A and B are shown apart, each in its own frame.
Chain A
Amino acid sequence: MKNAFRSLVLILSLVVMVSPAFSQTPVKGGILTVCQPAEPPGLDPTANTSAAIDRVVYANIYEGLVKVDSTGGFLPGLANGWSVSTYGLVYTFNLRKGVVFHNGEAFDASVAKWNLERAAMPENGNPHPEYFNGIDTIETPDSHTLVIRLKAVDALFIAHMAEGDAVMLPMKGVEDVKSNPVGTGPFRFEKWVRGDRVEMVRFDGYWNPFLPYLDRVTFRFISDPAAQIAALKAGDIDVIGYIAAPESAMMLEKDKRFKVYSGTTTGEVIMSTNNKAAPFDNRLVRQAMAHAIDRQAVIELVMFGYGTPIGSHWSPSTPYYKDLTGRFPYDPDKAKVLLKKAGYPDGFKATIKLPAIYSYSRRAGEVIADMLGKVGIDLTIEIVEWGQWIDRIFKKKEFQLTMIGHVEAWDIGIYARPNYYFQYDSQAFRDAYARALEAPDEAEKAKWFGRCQRIIAEDAVNGFLFSAPSLPVMIR
């Protein structure tokens, strides 16, 4: 979630970033310098959920069996393709031949098996062992076939195989991949100058002989938005990867030297609501708030117009998306009626706690406090440090409202956990989610994931605001 914009986001931004450069005549060679706001905490995506890691290494240095495309669909990665048995329990992956790691080690079925088994054990430090411990057995009938039998049908199995948590690591040198990453990707790690940059060079032994085009890619870590722009204008960097500040994007869009792309991400910015704290345990109150929020105005004021309104916990760039923004249109009068019905004709006072590290969260909090004030809900704003947020809000649930971006793809399952920080407890949702996970085919998946989205929208569990934009900027 939050500081973890996962693989999907990364792929989306890469697709957006790279395609224009190559859409005319592909030119071989060249050096690209990409700025990214946050320095990754280590370079092993299987050891940490931080999106900063994936944005640097995913699909560049490391690859998994499966990749994600810009529409959220799944593409072959290190697996040429895969088939699923009739009841969805057995996945057979055909692995690519001739794939080698940057250290010369060959990638085959036994390496893949070892990786998946390693990831399932929490002591190896994978933050999501649950992605892998649904695997019952792994067989390797030959060196390039991997037969995975699951304990139960898991509709998200392929999605999880495309995550950074599931990239393939080499068996030799795996203990050092955090600082000396070795993968099968098109670029080979060269060095990490801590506090400044990561450099990678073309891997000549890449399994796709036509790729990569570039000779060298450098990721530079510049957190200050003003310094990012200065570096871009001074020609020190070619691309600002995922732009931190939408106000910078707006300014750079007017500059003829640069091109700003506005892509989508898998992130949902929501006003998280404690469903067990009065008066928010009353569904009418939550629905009233949903009517009182003008999402488009929030996007204009908080994100300078970049972003897509959402009506549930599902990004438009993820398959099976249902547009539910029409369920609670902006209608302050209706909000007042609902508040009256809920027993609060004069409104009430509440507190919203905003994490200091996210500027979008602070800004959105202020805008929403104003909107809710118009229907009689008087919000007090409290800014909290990130460690405090994790401790008081996420763990101890000492809050009424907060504001945060949930960035992991396919994360609607958090609503099936009654002890999750917003404490939503609905048997109807849990049943629908279980059905979705067991769905054997696309139509059933669409039906049940759609129902999941609808249930939480109807219950107005959280204030669903907008899907965060990806705003890369590059030299024309």
Chain B
Amino acid sequence: MSLTAAVKTLRIDGRDLSGRQEETILDVARQHGIFIPRLCEMEGLSDVGACRLCLVEVKGQNRLLPACVTAVEEGMEVTTNSDRLQKYRRMILELLFTERNHVCAVCVSNGHCEMQMLAQGLDITHVHFPYRYPKVEVDASHDRFVIDHNRCILCTRCVRVCDEIEGAHTWDVLGRGIDAKVITDLNEPWGLSETCTSCGKCVHVCPTGALFEKGRSVAEMLKRRQFLPYLTLMREENE
């Protein structure tokens, strides 16, 4: 296949852009500074299309497509930010806020939280769905890290980074629907995990304050995400 055949030209929000055929709409948008909200997607991890925040409109398609897993196609016309998409994104984020107990004011990630920032960016000044107030646990059994399930949004970044990058597969998901939760090993306390290498990757990919380092107080937990693209780049070069 020639080099030119692998390049697709498309239009995103009225801008004529191009991307390699294996790239997704989100990849190309990101390269050109077009912001599409997302919480489950993360560069360097596999894509699951679960948070539904990156849904975009593609001309000629009667359904909305997740930008993180939709490959670019020649002549595609993408709208990333219509009123309808904004409305859906606001609703989805609001639903997340109602699901567990997100108290930004006392959160270690206050001011550095992806969900909090997205909410502000989408003009969410309040949540019009009623809150659930479920009783969920905090597991502080690990020496260095804590998981506070109150703040977990089930993006599964921790599950994927642990499996795909660290290769430990300590994290996984237990249960279904609204009762689903991330677990370590076979739902044992994190501190007792025999597979956890304490590498801390899960903590730093976590978009909220659900995973954090011990000893961090309100607003003190800064996540260092740069390691992931760097690691994947180094691995690709070694291959």
Q: Do A and B come from one complex?
A: no
Q: Which residues of B contact A (CB under 8 A)?
A: none
Q: Which of A's residues lie within 8 Å of B, judged by CB?
A: none
